[in-house]
Structure 1
Amino acid sequence: MQQTIIDRIEPVAEDVVSVTLRGAAGPLAPWEPGAHIDLRLPNWLTRQYSLCSDPADREHYRIAVRHDRLSRGGSEYIHRYLRLGRPLEVSLPRNHFPLLPAPEYLFLAGGIGITPLLSMLRAASDAGVPATLVYVGRSPEKMPFLDELRDRYGQRVRVIATRRDGRPDLAALAAAFGPETGVYCCGPGPMLDAAEAVFPAERFHAERFRPVARTFAPDTPFEVTCARSGRTVPVPADASLLEALTHAGFPLASGCREGVCGSCELSVLDGEPEHRDDIGAAEGRMFACVSRARSARLVLDL
């Protein structure tokens, strides 16, 4: 974890605040566009937020938080109780949504989904790569960083306020860009589903706020052997791997508990995991909050 101090809090749209964190002990860890961090809040909650500042600025991290009326305690605490000068622990940045090389980019943002795309658009612009941002929201007042984007990028930013303009024609948008265009999308699930249906899978990259609803076989018990300690931990059918390990004295970092943030990643040395995450676990890795085992036993690097 890294120690930071809240350096600035400011509204950037209706129900959205920008929070700038300053390193308490010198430069912060480096990061690349698309990365996010975990915030360990004083109310004992851990939440994940995309970094939306300049990666070249090692003194500060910036995030933006929308006040969710159905908040589980994270966004409400940030909006109501965080104050300037407050110390906060944050994780090292993680990136499951990296910006890959392409001759041209299309960034498609929905509301607060603009946050990971801000640094991507900056990186593409700084590299001289053609890039277009299509920014969708209910109204301009609800779209964070809109003035900043217009001032910096001008006509490269297309704003679609759905109350005024209706929903974007994503099929027409897909037809307007060449086959090599890298498409990066972040926003509400329905928008991502619609975009995924019209853009070719090989050039479409998305980050979701919530996991895609999928059906899996019924949960069954399995065992995990912790290679470094030599202990074996049973995982009953009615508990997650994360819960079983925590109860056995192997506390893991965890945030979303939905398979979208990546904070509970584990190394698998033997056995076959059943991946249920929305990130796409790399070979030999799994996410303990949602994933289980196809084999009767897993060996983990714990």
Structure 2
Amino acid sequence: MSSLVVAERTQVADDVVALTLRHPENRPLPEWRPGAHIDLLLDDDLVRTYSLCGDPADRASWRIGVLRTVDSRGGSALVHDKLHVDTRVRVRGPRNTFALRPARRYLFVAGGIGITPILPMVAAAAAAGADWRLLYGGRSHSSMAFLDELAPYGDPVAVRPQDRHGLLDLDGFLGEPDDRTLVYCCGPEPLLAAVERRCRVWPAGTLQVERFRVQEQQAPAGDHPFEVVCSQSGVTVQVAPGDSVLQAVRAAGVSALSSCAEGICGTCETEVLEGVPDHRDSVLGEEERASGETMMICVSRARTPRLVLDL
């Protein structure tokens, strides 16, 4: 965890500010790759995750874009109202659960503030000489952030504010399945769900998404009690119905990182050494869930009476 200072603050769209963070002693910041995000520890019990949207080659600063949301639980409002130039903020990370994999061709789809993780992906794809296109939607032109940075790319970028163009033409943009192409999408849940429906016929692993909100889950296996063995610490706990693994292990004195406590940020991802998890997160893909190698202990439970975790 580091204490960083807000070096710059810029209004980049309606209700969106970009914050540039630096080390107070100008030390280099940890490396990161497109798709990475950081946690802002805004209060003792208020942690929020934001995608890095600057230049990974710039070790002197990190940049995030933050939308003030109408239904904010306090995070975005605090960022907008309290984090000004020279304000210090505690930061954890970076982590990456949305990494850009090598491909010959990319299709990027962004909705609203979902442009933030996509922005450095576009730059990386362009720098690598890959074939790529971006479809970027928002409520209105004035609500869409970083348009000035996207403009120099020209034709590969399609900016489609809804008040002028209606809903995004996903069928026309995605086209036919192609095993050379990777699809990356970030934005509101209706957009993610629409892209996921269209990509079901594409090769497995083609689509990568990052969510801001909890994905609606299928009926879970049930909230039966189960045992968790923490292999590193040698502690064994019982997880009762209604409790999370995270709550149970912390109550037993076992250290475990977390941020959102909703299964959307990936902070609490933990290796599963034995047993079968009941996945209830919105981070892992189908192949990752099927492997059972890791789980998000803030929301996921167990399908077996016992789990052994790398804690």
TM-score scaled by length of structure 1? 0.94
1:268–1:255 Cα change, 3 Å: same
* 1:4 is aligned to 2:4: yes
**Structure 2: how far apart are the matches of 1:85 and 1:162?**
36
Which segment drifts farther, 204-213 or 159-168? 204-213
Q: Give the SS at the match of 1:141.
A: helix
Specify the SS of the correspondent of 1:298: strand
Q: Paired residue for 1:101?
A: 102
Inter-partner Cα distance in structure 1 for 2:179 and 2:237: 49
Which residue is equivalent to 2:181?
Answer: 181
Residues 272 and 294 in structure 1, CA contact (< 8 A), matched pair in contact too: yes
1:163 to 2:163 alignment:
yes
Give the Cα–Cα distance (whole angstroms) in 2 for the partners of residues 9 and 44 of structure 1.
Answer: 24
1:252 match: 256
Q: What residue number does 2:247 align with? A: 243
Say whether the 8 Å CA contact 1:266–1:300 is kept in structure 2.
Answer: yes
Aligned to 1:122: 123
Selected match of 2:216 from 190, 213, 216? 213
Question: 1:265/1:225 Cα in 2 relative to 1: closer, same or farther (>3 Å)?
Answer: same
5+ residue gaps, structure 1: none
C-alpha distance in structure 1 between counterparts of 2:174 and 2:273, whole Å: 42
Deviation at 1:285, TM superposition (A): 2.0
- In structure 2, the CA distance between the partners of 1:243 and 1:195, relative to structure 1 (3 Å rule), is same
CA shift, 1:92, in A, is 2.1
| Cα offset, 1:207, TM superposition | 1.1
Code of the residue aligned with 2:275 in structure 1: it is: G
Structure 1 equivalent of residue 145 of structure 2: 144
Alpha-carbon distance in structure 2 between the residues aligned to 1:24 and 1:6: 9
1:196 correspondence with 2:196 = yes
User: Pick from 280, 284, 307: which aligns with 1:298?
Assistant: 307
| Structure 1 residues 151-193: Cα deviation after superposition (integer angstroms, max 9, x where no partner) | x312221111111111122112222785522211111111111
> Do structure 1's residue 228 and structure 2's residue 232 form an aligned pair?
yes
How much has 1:287 moved relative to structure 2? 1.1
Q: Deviations over 1:120-167 (max 9, x none)?
A: 0000111111221111011110001112211x3122211111111111
- How far apart, CA to CA, are the structure 2 residues paired with 1:166 and 1:15? 21
2:297 is matched with: 288
Q: Is the 8 A contact 2:215 2:281 kept in 1?
A: no
Contact 2:179 2:203 in 1 (8 A): no
Aligned-pair CA distance for 1:2: 2.6
Contact between 1:2 and 1:28, CA under 8 Å: does it hold in 2? Answer: no
Partner residue, 1:79: 80
The equivalent of 1:112 in structure 2 is 113
Matches of 1:84 and 1:132, distance apart in 2: 35
The 2-side partners of 1:201 and 1:28 are apart by 37
- 1:267 aligns with 271
Give the 3-state SS of the residue equivalent to 2:253 in structure 1: coil
What root-mean-square deviation, in Å, do the aligned CA atoms of Structure 1 and Structure 2 show? 1.8
CA distance in structure 1 between the aligned counterparts of 2:181 and 2:273, rounded to whole angstroms? 37
Give the corresponding residue for 1:69: 70
Higher mean C-alpha deviation, range 37-46 or range 256-265: 37-46
Q: Secondary structure at the match of 1:118?
A: helix
Structure 2 counterpart SS, 1:92:
strand
Counterpart CA distance in 1 for 2:231 and 2:56 is 37
How far apart are 1:284 and its partner, in Å?
Answer: 3.0
Alpha-carbon distance in structure 2 between the residues aligned to 1:161 and 1:27: 38
Distance in 2 (CA, whole Å) between partners of 1:173 and 1:229 is: 50
Which moved further from structure 2: 276-285 or 247-256? 276-285
Shift of 1:103: 1.3
Give the TM-score of the pair, scaled to structure 2: 0.91
Q: What is the letter of the counterpart of residue 197 of structure 1? A: R
Deviations 1:219-253 (A, max 9, x none): 01111122233222111102111111222222422
Q: Determine the structure 2 residue equivalent to 1:46.
A: 47
Structure 2 unaligned residues grouped into runs of 5+? none
